[in-house]
């Protein structure tokens, strides 16, 4: 399921009216949202689709709200900039920005001009990934949004298209995948944006004029449904039509004759569900020619998974294929989605697994069971305990746990006993006993399956007494389980803001960022110190004594960029901290005695992160020194990659 987020348009006109969903995301905060939420304030967010809501229990959860009309103006500025810097009106970002601005504008126009109107983000699930809780996550996110928009505006004012694209998390104006998912056009809740690979080549106005937004008319694959006298038919846009009359822009596919038509979930988007007089059937459209595969006869249907769907006749469930073939006549009491080629099915009070030929791969004998997962194993419940079975029904991990379930982020099975978690890999090999409060991948951006294959899987573990460490895929401790928190090293410079850079060649999976709780500040908030742990050498490269630590890579070398707090604040640093660079081994290349290196902006801001480190890397990669300011005198000096300091 992932960690989801939603964006809503909210109004004070009718307190009982539900908010309008603008967009949704899964596992990230799209840059589009950051633009819209700049200058936003923290506050409770709508939780219509949030199953768990406020896990912190403070009544607010993780929400940010921003003035909708001001947000729309920002989006309009971006749309105008992209249009001015494109040589074609139908270029991908031009069409998408214009569409997004019109879409949001139409939602806003539905409300009174003088009423309060705001965009609200429900970030509850994303905040679960933040070790310090929802309030800290919201504070960090608000800062990110504000600084991102400030940097984008500066780039637009300078007319720097390349810089603006980088700040918007895309490689360049033609980066279709980047615009769709990292920037976030693909998550907007209008059918115009649902087709992203490839993205639409028609304008938003033409799409709407062609009926593309009428009652969810778009069905995918270039097909649209339309209704006449309460009956639904199918049509497709005529690419050769030059008529201004909307009625002349369509190719007929199927005359209106069905009570309903909707998507089936099949891999072939032309396969659709149809219904008439309370019964459901199946049809397929190929090259704009429709044919009924199964006449309406099912009492209920469930969407296809792996091109297998469950169908109900009377009180029994059967299975059909996406080509209309009957896999298994209605004879089951219950059936679930197809996964890894097998369907969990119940007959009486026992569960088994049916294959795609309709035969019992595993006859019903379990009290409960879950779907098969990558690696060919499935959780099964017998004698009041969970274990893992193979595709023949044999126990690979005997039933002994209170729960066993697949964790996609770890690409492994979590086992639970007495409230504690353990780990079994995809092949069924025990890795960790159920003795930890929580488990998570250390590297959240890499492909977990590939990490297991390469032997680089690193698992962050949390003990019941809130100590953290790292173990590998063999269960061996790589980082002692003694730290207050830990995470991935952030490597700089970053080519694209918000997109993690990989470690230098040959160093993947070697380092972890470690944190220690060192007390509380004057406001009573917890304070933290950071360091770096070398999992290859089994030692702290940097002890937990620093405010911030970053990996710093340049051509031919790498080290550590640190921000350090001394007893007396630095008078020439905006935060009062000192900056330095350590060698890869942890000794000082340039001690933290500088107000800044490369650029004067704070390393606690996006401007600092995306200006200072690139300047260091660029100069040192060329063998040239980089400018820095001494923290004690304010004098300018030049820092060399061999450790020398020369006058500026």
- pLDDT score for 14: 56
**Taking the C-alpha atoms of 177, 179, 183 and 184 in order, what is their torsion angle to the nearest 10 degrees?**
-80
pTM recorded for the entire structure:
0.68
Angle at 268 between CA 267 and CA 272, to 5 degrees: 105
Q: Would you say 227 and 215 are in contact if contact means Cβ atoms under 8 Å apart?
A: yes
Give Cα separations from 405 to 353, 402, 434, 537 (angstroms): 17, 10, 13, 34
Query: Which residue ranges make up each domain of the chain?
Result: 4-210, 223-410, 494-510+545-647
Residue 15, C-beta contacts closer than 8 angstroms, at least 6 positions apart? none
Long-range contacts of 209-213 (CB under 8 A, 24+ apart): 209/246, 210/237, 210/246, 210/249, 210/250, 211/246
Compute the radius of gyration of the chain from its Cα atoms. Answer: 28
Asked if the peptide bond before residue 580 counts as cis, ω within 30 degrees of 0, the response is no
E strands of 69-125, at which residues?
117-122
Query: What single-letter DSSP state applies at residue 618?
Result: H
The dihedral region occupied by 466, where left means phi > 0, alpha psi between -120 and 50, and beta the remainder, is left
User: Over the stretch 25-35, which tens digit does the pLDDT of each residue have?
Assistant: 877 889 999 99
Residue ranges of the chain with per-residue pLDDT less than 70: 1-3, 13-17, 44-61, 113, 129-132, 195-197, 209-216, 241-248, 495-500
Q: Would you say 343 and 319 are in contact if contact means Cβ atoms under 8 Å apart?
A: yes
Q: Would you say 354 and 372 are in contact if contact means Cβ atoms under 8 Å apart?
A: no
Of the candidates 564, 604, 571, 570, which has an alpha carbon nearest to the alpha carbon of residue 588? 564
Q: Do strands 477-483 and 468-472 pair parallel, antiparallel, or not at all (unpaired)?
A: antiparallel
Q: Strands of 63-67's sheet, edge to edge?
A: 20-26, 4-11, 117-122, 63-67, 41-42
- pLDDT score for 271: 97
Which helix (H) or strand (E) segment holds residue 165: the answer is helix 161-167
Question: DSSP assignment of 358-378, as one string?
Answer: SSEEEEEEESEE---BTTTBE
| Cα(48)–Cα(44) distance, integer angstroms | 12
Q: Do strands 491-492 and 548-554 pair parallel, antiparallel, or not at all (unpaired)?
A: parallel
Token couple for 619? 């100069």
- pLDDT score for 54: 40
Of the candidates 248, 215, 219, 218, which has an alpha carbon nearest to the alpha carbon of residue 230? 215
- pLDDT score for 1: 37
- pLDDT score for 276: 94
Tell the burial category of 587 from Cβ atoms under 10 Å away from its Cβ (0-12, 13-18, 19+): exposed
How many CB atoms neighbour CB 307 within 10 A?
Answer: 17
């Amino acid at each position: 399921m992932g960690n989801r987020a939603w964006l809503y348009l909210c109004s004070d006109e009718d307190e009982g009216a539900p908010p309008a969903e603008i967009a949704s995301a899964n596992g990230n905060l799209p840059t589009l949202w950051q633009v819209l939420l700049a200058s936003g304030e923290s506050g409770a967010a709508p939780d219509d689709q949030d199953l768990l809501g406020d896990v912190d229990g403070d009544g607010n959860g993780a929400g940010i709200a921003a003035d909708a009309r001001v947000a729309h103006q920002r989006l309009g500025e971006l749309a105008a900039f992209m249009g001015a810097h494109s040589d074609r009106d139908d270029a991908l970002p031009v069409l998408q920005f214009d569409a997004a601005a019109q879409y949001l504008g139409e939602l806003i126009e539905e409300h009174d001009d003088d009423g309060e109107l705001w965009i609200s983000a429900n970030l509850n699930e994303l905040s679960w990934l933040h070790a310090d809780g929802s309030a800290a996550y919201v504070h960090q996110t608000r800062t990110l949004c504000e600084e991102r928009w400030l940097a984008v505006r500066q780039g637009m004012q300078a007319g720097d298209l390349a810089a603006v694209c980088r700040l918007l998390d895309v490689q360049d104006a033609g980066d279709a995948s980047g615009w769709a998912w990292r920037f976030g056009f693909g998550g907007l809740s209008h059918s115009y944006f649902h087709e992203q690979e490839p993205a639409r080549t028609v304008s938003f106005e033409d799409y709407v004029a062609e009926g593309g937004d009428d009652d969810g008319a778009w069905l995918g694959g270039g097909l649209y449904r339309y209704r006449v006298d309460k009956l639904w038919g199918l049509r497709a846009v005529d690419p050769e039509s030059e008529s201004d009359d909307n009625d002349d822009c369509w190719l007929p596919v199927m005359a209106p004759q069905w009570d309903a038509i909707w998507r089936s979930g099949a891999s072939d988007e032309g396969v659709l569900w149809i219904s008439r007089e309370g019964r459901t059937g199946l049809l397929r459209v190929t090259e704009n020619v429709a044919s009924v595969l199964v006449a309406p006869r099912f009492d209920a249907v469930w969407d296809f998974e792996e091109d297998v769907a469950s169908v109900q006749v009377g009180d029994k469930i059967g299975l059909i294929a996406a080509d209309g073939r009957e896999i298994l006549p209605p004879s089951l009491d219950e059936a679930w989605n197809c996964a890894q080629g097998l369907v969990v099915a119940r007959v009486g009070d026992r569960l088994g697994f049916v294959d795609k030929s309709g035969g019992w791969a595993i006859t019903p004998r379990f009290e409960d069971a879950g779907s098969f997962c990558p690696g060919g194993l499935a959780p099964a419940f017998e004698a009041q305990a969970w274990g893992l079975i193979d595709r023949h029904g044999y126990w690979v991990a005997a039933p002994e746990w209170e729960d066993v379930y697949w964790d996609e982020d770890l690409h492994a099975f979590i086992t639970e006993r007495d409230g504690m978690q353990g780990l079994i890999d995809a092949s069924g090999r025990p890795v960790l006993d159920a003795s930890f409060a929580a488990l998570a991948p250390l590297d959240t951006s890499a492909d977990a399956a590939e990490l297991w294959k390469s032997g680089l899987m690193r698992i962050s573990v949390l003990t019941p007494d809130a100590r953290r460490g790292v173990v590998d895929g063999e269960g061996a401790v790589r980082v002692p389980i003694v730290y207050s928190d830990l995470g991935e090293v952030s490597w700089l410079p970053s080519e694209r803001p918000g997109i993690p850079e990989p470690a230098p060649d040959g160093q993947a999976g070697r380092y972890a960022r470690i944190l220690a709780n060192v007390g509380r500040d004057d406001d009573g908030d917890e304070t933290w110190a950071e360091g770096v742990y070398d999992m290859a050498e089994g030692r702290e490269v940097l002890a937990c004594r620093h405010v911030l630590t970053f990996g710093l890579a340049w051509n031919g070398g790498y080290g550590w960029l640190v921000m350090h707090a001394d007893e007396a604040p630095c008078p020439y640093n905006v935060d009062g901290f000192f900056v330095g660079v350590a060698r890869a081994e942890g000794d000082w290349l340039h001690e933290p005695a500088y107000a800044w290196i490369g650029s004067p902006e704070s390393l606690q801001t996006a401007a600092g992160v995306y200006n200072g480190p690139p300047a260091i890397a660029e100069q040192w990669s060329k063998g040239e020194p980089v400018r820095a300011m001494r923290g004690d005198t304010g004098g300018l000096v030049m820092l060399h990659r061999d450790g020398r300091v020369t006058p500026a």
